[in-house]
């Protein structure tokens, strides 16, 4: 660095620095400094009575899409509709009829998290939201 104190092309340099700072602080001013707590997915009476999900809650939280993928493959490729978890409990492998049977509706449960994490599963293009409520 030179000892020279003069800054050349001040206008352009400071415009560039302001743009840099604006971009780098985007998350702060976009959120207006408001932290967003994680959503609490609503559990239905039926789910509360069951106490347990298909897998332990921690595994469901992070890996439910992989479970759904396995279910899908088992049903569609192997024509196997029964799933038994480690406690020996049986489940009918179905997105709308099983998951949404305990978990009321897509909106009050799945979407709470998904909107927060910005994921839009395309499943609902074909699968229907809680079938019982619709009927």
Partner 1 sequence: MKNYLLSLIAVIVLALIAYVGAEAATWPQYVFGIIIPYLAMTIFIMGTIRKILGWARSPVPFRIPSTCGQQKSLPWIKQSKIDNPFTFFGVIVRMVLEVFLFRSLFRNTKCKMSKGGKIFFDLEKWLWVGAIVFHWSFLVVLLRHLRFFTNPVPGCIQFLEQVDGFIQIGLPGIFLSGFALVAGAVFLLVRRIVIPQVRYISLASDYFPLFLIIGIALTGILMRYFTKVDIVGAKEILMGLVTFHPSISANINGIFYVHLFLVSILLVYIPFSKLMHMGGIFFSPTRNLANNSRAVRHINPWNYPVKVHTYDEYEDDYREKMIEAGLPVEKE
Among 14, 15, 21, 61, binds ligand HEC (CB under 6 A): 61
Helix (H, G, I), strand (E, B) or coil at 118: coil
Count of residues that bind partner 1 according to CB under 8 A: 43
CB 46 within 8 A of CB 53: no
Work out what residue 79 binds among ligand HEC, partner 1, none; the CB cut-off runs from 5 to 8 Å by kind: none
Among 18, 19, 21, 76, binds ligand HEC (CB under 6 A): 76
CB 83 within 8 A of CB 93: yes
Look up residue 56 and give its DSSP letter: -
**Sequence-ordered list of residues with C-beta below 8 angstroms from that of 63, at least 6 positions apart, any chain:** 55
Q: What's the min distance (Å) between Cβ of 28 and ligand HEC?
A: 23
**Torsion (CA) 56, 68, 96, 59 in degrees, nearest 10:** 20
Determine, following the binding rule CB under 6 A, whether residue 82 of this chain makes contact with ligand HEC: no
Q: Which is nearer to partner 1, 6 or 134 (CB)?
A: 6
Q: What's the min distance (Å) between Cβ of 34 and partner 1?
A: 6
């Amino acid at each position: 660095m030179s000892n020279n104190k003069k800054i050349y092309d001040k206008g352009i340099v400071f415009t560039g620095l302001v743009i840099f700072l604006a971009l780098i602080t985007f998350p702060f001013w976009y959120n207006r400094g408001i932290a967003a707590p994680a959503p609490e997915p609503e559990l239905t009476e039926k789910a509360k009575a069951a106490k347990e999900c298909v897998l332990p809650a921690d595994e469901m939280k992070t890996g439910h899409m992989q479970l759904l993928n396995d279910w899908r493959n088992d049903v569609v490729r192997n024509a196997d509709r029964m799933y038994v978890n480690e406690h020996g409990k049986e489940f009918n492998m179905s997105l709308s009829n099983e998951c949404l049977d305990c978990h009321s509706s897509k909106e009050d449960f799945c979407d709470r998290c998904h909107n927060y994490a910005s994921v839009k599963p395309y499943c609902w293009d074909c699968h229907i939201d809680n079938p019982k409520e619709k009927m």
